[in-house]
Amino acid sequence: MKGQRKKKRIRKKSLHAALLLALAFACGCAGKNRASEMGEAETVDSMSREETENGDSMSREETESEEKDTSREEAGPEEKDTSREEAEAVSGKKTVRPEVLHFVDVYGQKYKVDIDPKVKKHDYKLDAFLRDGQRMSYIGDERYTYRLGIDVSYHQGYIDWQKVKADGYDFAILRIGYRGYGQEGRLCRDTRFKEYIQNAQNAGLDVGVYFFSQAVNEAEAEEEARLVLDSLQGCRLQLPVVYDPESILDDAARTDNVTGEQFTKNTKVFCQMVEDAGYQPMIYSNMLWEAFQFDLKKLAEYPIWYADYEPLPQTPYHFSFWQYDNEGVVDGIEGNVDLDIQLIQVPAKEK
């Protein structure tokens, strides 16, 4: 539209100049030559300006267009792919993108994290986990068998362990002690531990123990291990001693600023002391801790007790126990209780 308006202005100016020349000739005006020169000059000058403006405009548009096209080409995925292919060709190695895991926490918050290819994965068949009401089972994989259990602390109060056994639960992991999450970080023994371990084993359940940790450094982790070992004097265990560092989600805690690196060091120290004392150590974890806290490569020698209340375990990493519910109902216990399943590998000759 701009070019059409400019051409109309050129034609009007040319017509005006021609009228002036005719009038000057008819009147014998002495300024004929000057009027002609001026009219022609104005016409030519006007056309020159218009052409220049048009030319500049077209030049700018063409230049901008070329620059945009060039920019698009430089940012295009094809060139990036080519560069990556060239780099791979030079190095002789193909770029492997890490597998990504999508998971949710207990509040439904979504997360995304790269799966560590250097950490051992579990080989369970997820469709073999079957839940019927309160009970989880693992069926259809001849490589593993399973059994059910519970984990408890003094919060459960009196427990009729004979009823627990009769209800189909074969093991229990008992809290042996804890460290307070306040700044003092006081060490405490679970006041019902001795009662629970005696009565549970008398009822025929296998027993392990766990310690709820709030250690902020290795020295405190050693203190926690010493309390556990002291409390175990005179006791026999069939299952591991579990280190259970946890985040306090609904209050300020002394461990709020502890790094994942430090948590890993604390865990390593605790487990080493337990192992040196002749017990099997194990680590309590969930997907958040496996993704953002623990360096699992440094803890690879220890079995994992994995907590996850989704229908299926979300972790890709290996675990031996799965705490699959924190609101279970078990005969012989008043109120809710945590429910667990243990996956037991069948020896090759028995398959």
* pLDDT reported for residue 98: 87
What is the predicted pLDDT for the residue at 351? 55
Contacts of residue 236, defined as CB under 8 A and 6 or more positions apart, other chains included, come to 201
Q: Which residues of the chain have pLDDT under 50?
A: 1-82
pLDDT for res 89: 57
Q: Give the chain's count of helices (H) and strands (E).
A: 8, 13
- Which pair of tokens denotes residue 246? 């946890």
* 305: its two tokens: 């007790």
Structure tokens, 172:
């229990």
Give every CB contact of residue 105 below 8 A, 6+ residues apart in sequence: 111, 286, 287, 288
Residue 181: per-residue pLDDT: 97
Q: What is the pLDDT of residue 97?
A: 84
Number of other residues whose CB lies within 10 A of the CB of residue 105: 17
pLDDT score for 71: 36
pLDDT digits (tens, 9 = 90+) for 222-257: 999 999 999 999 999 999 999 999 999 899 999 999
